[in-house]
A and B are shown apart, each in its own frame.
Chain A
Amino acid sequence: MILNYAQPLEVSNLTSWLDTFLRSGLPNFWVLFIEFVLVGALLLAAYAIIALILIYAERKITAFFQARFGPNRVGKWGLLQSVADMIKILLKEIIRINRSDRFLFFAAPFFMIVASVLTFGAIAFGKGLHAIDFNVGVLYVSAVSSLGIIGVLLAGWSSNNKYAMIGAMRSGAQFVSYELSAGFALMTIVVLSGTMQFSEMIEKQQYCWNIFNGHISSMVAFVIYLISGHAETNRGPFDLPEAESELTAGYHTEYSGLQFGFYYLAEYLNMFIIASIATVVFLGGYLPIQVHGWDGFNQAMNYIPTYVWFFGKTGVLIFLSLWVRWSFPRLRIDQLLNLEWKYLLPINLVNILIMVILVMTGLTLTDLFPGLF
């Protein structure tokens, strides 16, 4: 098993040490309390930091796709650019819009950010770096990540602005459609791995990632998940809700300052969340590459800490999403819905059926070559 290998750089060493240290002097309640607060604070900090890094990476990669340099003036290679942007956005005024629904207008960004933080908590960043691990993890993630759309719809409704309203409605239609595909793609893998708990799902992929284990069916599910995840984050060719040439800025037209920052942050984090869930479900999560029998190789791979593996895999998927974003032109709304209802959904349904047959008849790779995978 994986635990047989030395993993000197793991964070779990630190966390278990902290836990025993706290337990040695404090009653159970306070230990839990302190740990909860610590985990919460760390998650929020990670949320903000990952968003800053993503914004920088996105701007750089975008620039490279367009044969430009991207930000390169603030700090070395522009590394401090997104920090400077954050400070600027914190200092900006939060504008009150006349004749808007005040309460909903202020509440909307929180829906967005809370939904994405809740999902963020369920991501396994590495061994021992996993805050929320329900036995229905997949269900939980698809449930709370869909809360964000309420924020979008409320924003569009309460701004009292036609652009915002149309943007929000488009976003709603798009989100509802593609959530279906994303859910079915995840279900395909749930069929394959027989569990909805993320940690178990990851452990099962030690020698054979799910994307290879279910071969054809998994690959199709992976592609569909990436497409629909991409569409859910309102990016790339699916950015109709904020199509700036038609709708100014879509649902967040009227927002400024920190509230706009919330939407901005949530958008980037959603991209990260989609990529990391795809990592966990399809690419073996934080597990290093392992091959049966190659002990030296496995040992070497295990020296690389699990969080590096996780962020590496996620990074590749994020790059893929940016690559798609800068390759394809924006879809029209009818094309968008066509793609979902006429192509992705039927393929997905057939795909689940194929996966069920594969699992029932023992045609997955682990069943076919038990010694190898």
Chain B
Amino acid sequence: MNSISKYFSGLFTGIKSLIYGMSVTWKELWTKKVTQQYPENRKTLVISERWRSELTMPHDENNEHACTACGICEMNCPNGTIKVTPKFIETEDGKKKKILDTYQWDLGMCTFCNLCVLTCPSDAIQFRNTFENAVFTRGKLVQQLNQEGSKLREKKKEIPPKSPEGGLKD
């Protein structure tokens, strides 16, 4: 007797749950479509601020950046994506100083792991959310991040004999 009642109760609860399932999908049929129609919606497209797609080195209005050419980012990059080329110049007080010559970043080899940005002691680089990076040749993926003629932003603490004309522009 018990098994028979189980059979029928199973049958009817089954039918009930199927109908409930169909009512759920029926409601889903009329919900708003969530598809983003990309090339058409470029104007209204919102990409998260934290989206990492292009490494940049911010320059201020005096064409100065914060990279000291220490090479920590290059060492931390798991893919060898970054190539920091320093050069040595002589300051006014006769000291030799290492400054940045070129900062190369290869988009094609980057996994966007953010390690370079996290480890940079001077916060000289950061990722942007500009994601339309397609180019026609691989060579174009290699970008130089420091601008032409840019120089290191001077910091107060950096040179012990405090030079009055030093930076601190920001």
Interface residues of A (CB under 8 A from B): 64-69, 323-324, 326-328, 342-343
Contacts and interface: CB of A to CB of B under 8 A. Distances in A.
B35 A68 contact: yes
B11 A343 contact: yes
Given A64-B29, A343-B11, A69 B35 contact: yes
A323 B22 contact: yes
A187 to B, nearest CB: 22
Interface of B: 7, 11, 18, 21-22, 24-26, 28-29, 31-35, 37
Contacts of B26: 323
Nearest to B20: A327
B18 to A, nearest CB: 7
Contacts of A342: 7
Contacts of B31: 67
Given A64-B29, A343-B11, A327 B34 contact: no
A68 B33 contact: yes
Contacts of A327: 18, 21-22, 24-25
A66 B24 CA distance: 12
A67 B11 contact: no
Nearest to A320: B22
A326 B25 contact: yes
Contacts of B29: 64-65, 323
Instruction: Name which of A65, A323, A327, A343 has the most chain B CB atoms within 10 A of its CB.
Output: A327
A343 B34 CA distance: 40
Given A323-B22, A323-B26, A326-B25, A68 B34 contact: yes
Nearest to A72: B37
B18 A328 contact: yes
B25 A323 contact: yes
Q: What 4 pairs across the A-B complex have the smallest Cβ distances?
A: A327-B25, A69-B35, A327-B21, A327-B22
Instruction: Name which of B18, B25, B37 has the most chain A CB atoms within 10 A of its CB.
Output: B25
